[in-house]
Every structure is written in structure tokens, then in C-alpha cells.
Amino acid sequence: MTGGRNSIKKPRDTDGGSFGFEQVSFDEKARRVRDVFNSVSAKYDLMNDVMSLGFHRWWKTYAVEILEIEANQKVLDLAAGTADIAHRLLRVGLENLEVHCNDINYDMLSKGRDRMLDKGLHRPLKYIQSDGENLPYQSNFFNRSIVSFGLRNMNRKDAALTEIFRVLAPNGKLVILDFSLVKPPIMRKLHRLYTLRALPVLGKLVAGDSESYKYLGESIEVHPDQDALDFMLIKSGFREVKHYNLMGGVVAVHVGWKV
């Protein structure tokens, strides 16, 4: 695995961003997000099952199907975390598939690597620790890219999308899976109650960490909705942009092509 706990270097940036509902500098947000995922990494997979009642498994499988990978392709799994997406990519069973697991958080990436080693799925995988807004790949390198529940935590989402566009080859496809705006009004109110009130309690009970899950709930609220994210994709150069709402918009799968 390339990188290490202190290997990510970038210029200091004091411009503002949001850490949940709080306005902080980009540097401060990066530090706090790193602390959140350092804190939750040990029980991250368990909490995903608890928080989503297991639905995250279906959402991720659907996103991988939408990605439409083929044999002999190079795939960027950005914000790869504990390698849930990478595992699904390899389960498709295509020959000569090369998957690059990229994440800024060393603890999460290490956990994902260990999981794949335990499953005997290490050979087609490469692990790179880097900032999603400054990817260490040459242009036109990947055929496909997927970001699962990771764009929401990046400082400059537009910069990350521009970087993904750069490293995708012509006819390359991007799929983004993340929480979004729940469409039915009553369901939206219940969803907000769950994310803002129940998640911190679940975090405390299951992971012994309410503050990290308070942030995760707030980050859902401030994340761009379906139309806003579609517009960001178009501004970054993607074409044939569309999205699919799952469970009334609890999550959305966004698709864009580099033509």
C-alpha cells in the first residue's frame, strides 16, 4: 500500500467549508473528517449495517451494476474505505480487472486491505492513500470510477469531480452513490429526525462515539441534492448525466460519462 498516516501533503488552505452544520476552514475540516474516520474505522462496517438496516449492501451492489465494468478495465474506487465496493467489483469475476482502492484515511484503507487479504482477493487490487482532490494518476488512465458515500466528506467536491474527469479515459464512466434529498415530504421529516437525532444515539450505543455520527448525520443534510450534484458533474465536463433515486431519495446514484 502506498502512503502512510502522515504522507498526505498539500498547501495550507484557510478558506472556509462546512463540517456538518459548522463553518470551518478547509484545513480544519480535513483534520476533523480524518479524526471521525479514525474513530469509527474499527466498527465502521457494523455501524453501516445498523444505520441502514442492511440496505447499504443493496445500494452498493446496485451502484456496481450501474457502473457496467468489463474485462481488462482499470477501475478507480475513490474513497474506498473498507473495500466494500472493491469486493463487489471483484465478485463480478471479470478477467484482468485492475481495481485501485484510493482513500485519504490510512486506517480505513488498511482495514479494507486486511479484509481483502483475508478473502484472498489481494492480487487485482492496488491501494493508494491520497487526497481525492489531487489524484496521483496520469490523465486518461481509468475506464471506470466509482465513489460510494465519500464525495460528501470532501472539501472541494467540484475539484474532486474535475480530477476524476481528468483521470478517466474517453468513454469512461463515473458512478457516485451517496445520501441525497428525500422526496416525499413526510418521509423527509422522518429521515431528518433519524439522521439528526437517532444516529448519534446509535453511534454511542454501538461504537461508543456519538460525536462522529452527529457529524455524519449533519453531513447528509448539507450535501448537494440530486439536481445540484448533476449540475456539478456537468460543470466538471461529464455528459449524459443522470441520477436514480433509491428508497425515495434516501440515496441517489449519479452517472456521468467522459465523451
Distance separating alpha carbons of residues 124 and 93, to the nearest angstrom: 11
Pick 36 or 132 by higher pLDDT.
132
Can you give the pLDDT at residue 25?
77
Length of the chain: 259
pLDDT surpasses 80 at 3: no
Mean pLDDT of the chain: 88
pLDDT surpasses 50 at 7: no
pTM to 2 decimals? 0.88
Predicted confidence band at 63 (pLDDT cuts at 50, 70, 90)? very high
Q: Which domains does the chain have, with CATH numbers?
A: 16-179+225-258 (3.40.50.150)
pLDDT surpasses 70 at 142: yes
Can you give the pLDDT at residue 153?
87
Pick 225 or 47 by higher pLDDT.
225
Can you give the pLDDT at residue 116?
92
pLDDT surpasses 80 at 77: yes
Q: Which three cell numbers stand for residue 186?
A: 413526510
pLDDT surpasses 70 at 109: yes
The pLDDT of 64-77, averaged and rounded, is 97
pLDDT surpasses 60 at 91: yes
The pLDDT of 31-59, averaged and rounded, is 81
- At how many degrees (to 10) do helices 44-52 and 55-67 cross? 100
Beta-sheet strand order (sheet of 239-246): 125-129, 98-103, 74-78, 142-148, 168-179, 251-258, 239-246
* C-alpha closest to that of 214 among 205, 231, 202: 202
Can you give the pLDDT at residue 17?
66
For 159-212, how does the pLDDT look when each residue is reduced to its tens digit (9 = 90+)?
Answer: 999 999 999 999 999 999 999 999 999 999 999 999 999 989 988 888 888 888
pLDDT surpasses 80 at 20: no
Distance separating alpha carbons of residues 233 and 257, to the nearest angstrom: 9
Q: Residue 55 has what DSSP assignment?
A: H
